[in-house]
Amino acid sequence: MEDHGLALDPPPAADFAACEPHRSPALVWLFAGLVSAGIALYAFTRAFVWDEGFHLVAAQMILAGKKPYLDFCFPQTPLNAYWNALWMRVLHQSWRVSHIPAVLELDGAVVLLTRYLLSRFPDARWRSACTLAGIAFLGVNATMVQFGPIAQAYAICAFTLTAAFIFATDAVQKPQVWCSVAAGLSIGCGAASSLLIAPAAPVILLWLWFKNVVGSRSVKAAAFLVGSAIPFAPVVWLFVQGPHQTWFNIVTYQAMFRRADWKPDTAFSHDFDVLTGWYDSGQILLLCSCALAAVLFFRRHKEFGRFRSEFWLALWMSLSLVAYIATAHPTFGRYFIVGMPLYAIVAAPGLMVIALRFSASARPRRAASALLALLLFGLLRAQVTDLDAATWDRYEQMASAIAGVTPPAARLLSDEHIYFLLHRAPPPGMEFSYSHKVDVPAKEAALLHIIPIKELKSQISKGQFATIQTCDDDKIDDWNLASLYKQRKDIADCSIFWDYEKH
């Protein structure tokens, strides 16, 4: 193994950041900058996701002085919605503005990942190559590029998870507690934006307890818990004012109503397709192959000290996220990207392991270039396949057409994106379209600001909406829109109906 350039004899402290001069190769940082720029370019041109709409409407409602749960249905932890609202208050209400924080968060995750691998990776010869691999796994991943730089909480979760990991690795090495507090604040901010990353918190807590080197482990654990609780202050504030509504949106909806309109066999087959989707994805196969190679390598080689220990922390945090997200029913492939920085840390050493397995004289840059070429091809293929997908430009065309036929005071039923683009408050109960599948008694529905589908159909049949927009052909048929409205305009695969005809 010594011919491979592996540092098998670290100093007693096993701190590779100290045993090798800290270098920031220009090529690595250039690549990190290009990845960040590419994410930003996509974010401000083509980034569009269907579920982004209700997050934007939530921010819009907050800007209007409304409160999540108490004034409208929003089955998420609320911090990211408040964060988006703050950006739009400082700048202006626009979908591009809502993408700015997500871009900065993803770019921040890239920077943190780059600095971590450059300062901690133990083998000097392969350090730059494996850092390039880590950046590529994170920033060239097709799902991350598509779903990361948008108004949903994926980006803030990826950034805060990376920060929490790095703070936790520093916390056990220092007597002060500020790193423990920072780790708690980081993971708390992520979980208060989306509970998708919540399972990583107990893994970090166990790490602080069992891996502490200096200082009081109990004090650090307490500091971590305090830090992680602070970002949940808005949830506590809302719970005090409306405990039932808050509990429903954060817990009950997720536990009981996420799959309300899914048939059992359909939900099962959907989840099976998602959880076995790695078989059809070259990018995921590369990630998993490198991660597996790295795991097998570090199981056999125990002489890599601090980096090896932190590698296991990244692995266990990753596994906790994967196991938790896999139990969501239904689950979706995009949910898993919240842990992408950690997956990248686990997979990055695998480039070295696999390359050296093929050839003892393998060249790091050639190996990194080959991996990058494969990942870039996967990203390009995904983008070409997605050329006909919906975009914000298309929705802006629909918003303009709807504004031309809908009086300002008239009721409008549309996708949440349209309300946001037109700066119109949705009719009460229309802030979250998936809420219509929730079937609860009328008094309960009113408290939760939900209009069940039966009531919605009744309102439609009575002509209570001046204009209706949808991109769902099944809704057009089920709601009998073609018969209820005289006028219709199709834009791409979406339709706008207006001029209600009494029957």
Buried b (16+ CB within 10 A) or exposed e, 425-438: ebeebbbbbebbeb
Evaluate the omega torsion of the peptide bond into residue 330 and state whether it is cis, within 30 degrees of 0.
yes
What is the SS3 assignment for 309? helix
Position 264 scores a pLDDT of: 72
**Long-range contacts (CB closer than 8 Å, 24 or more residues apart) made by 308-312:** 309/211, 310/120, 310/169, 311/345, 311/346, 311/349
Beta bridge partners of 374: none
Tell me the Ramachandran region of residue 463: left when phi exceeds 0, alpha when psi lies from -120 to 50, beta otherwise.
left
pTM given for the model? 0.92
Helix axes 95-120, 305-326, angle to 10 degrees: 140
Position 4 scores a pLDDT of: 43
Helix axes 340-358, 364-385, angle to 10 degrees: 130
Strands 412-413 and 467-470: parallel
Reported as a single tens digit per residue, the pLDDT across 339-363 is: 999 999 999 999 999 999 988 888 9
Q: How far apart are CA 206 and CA 220, in angstroms?
A: 11
39 and 99 in contact (C-beta within 8 Å)?
Answer: no
Position 7 scores a pLDDT of: 40
Residues 6 or more apart in contact with residue 47 via CB below 8 angstroms: 99, 146, 149, 150, 392
Position 158 scores a pLDDT of: 98
pLDDT-flagged residues of the chain (< 50): 1-22
Reported as a single tens digit per residue, the pLDDT across 288-300 is: 999 999 999 999 9
Position 24 scores a pLDDT of: 59
Position 18 scores a pLDDT of: 38
